[in-house]
Structure 1
């Protein structure tokens, strides 16, 4: 499928994207993320891997649109768990 990212056309298939990302360690999930295989990747990381361009050259939205068209699931990163509350007590003693 033809996708345009950072004004450059790319002919990609879902299996090609999976191969390009294979072996890459996912960065911490922030912002919009894509589910590729069993892992969650930030879309900007995926964009850099598949286009070989600097991340400043494209937007996450461009990559998200392309990934959704290829059949990947994209969603905002899950919220980090809230820290456990500190039990009440006298901490000045």
Structure 2
């Protein structure tokens, strides 16, 4: 499937994306994420691997659209709360 990420055209195939991500440890999943195999990766990490571009060159929306069109499940993972707030009324 042809898609454009950071103004560059890419011909992506689902099996090739799975192969490229094989053996890469996922970073902490926060924000926009994609499920590839049995692992959940941040889409910025996936975009960096499949395009070989710096993460600042593309948006997570561009990669999410491409991965969704390829058939991957993409979702937003909320950040975990930091813990109880200090101070306040007792």
Map of 1:75 onto structure 2: 75
Contiguous gaps of at least 5 residues in structure 2: 85-90
| 2:58 is aligned with 1:40 | no
Map of 2:22 onto structure 1: 22
Map of 2:49 onto structure 1: 49
**Helix, strand or coil for the counterpart of 2:27?**
coil
- Judged with a 3 Å threshold, the aligned counterparts in structure 2 of structure 1 residues 78 and 37 are, in CA distance, closer, same or farther, namely farther
TM-align CA RMSD: 1.5
Instruction: Quote how far apart the aligned CAs of 1:78 are.
Output: 4.9
Map of 1:61 onto structure 2: 61
Map of 1:12 onto structure 2: 12
**Normalization by structure 2: what TM-score?**
0.87
**Normalization by structure 1: what TM-score?**
0.84
Instruction: Quote how far apart the aligned CAs of 1:77 are.
Output: 1.2
CA distance in 2, matches of 1:48, 1:82: 28
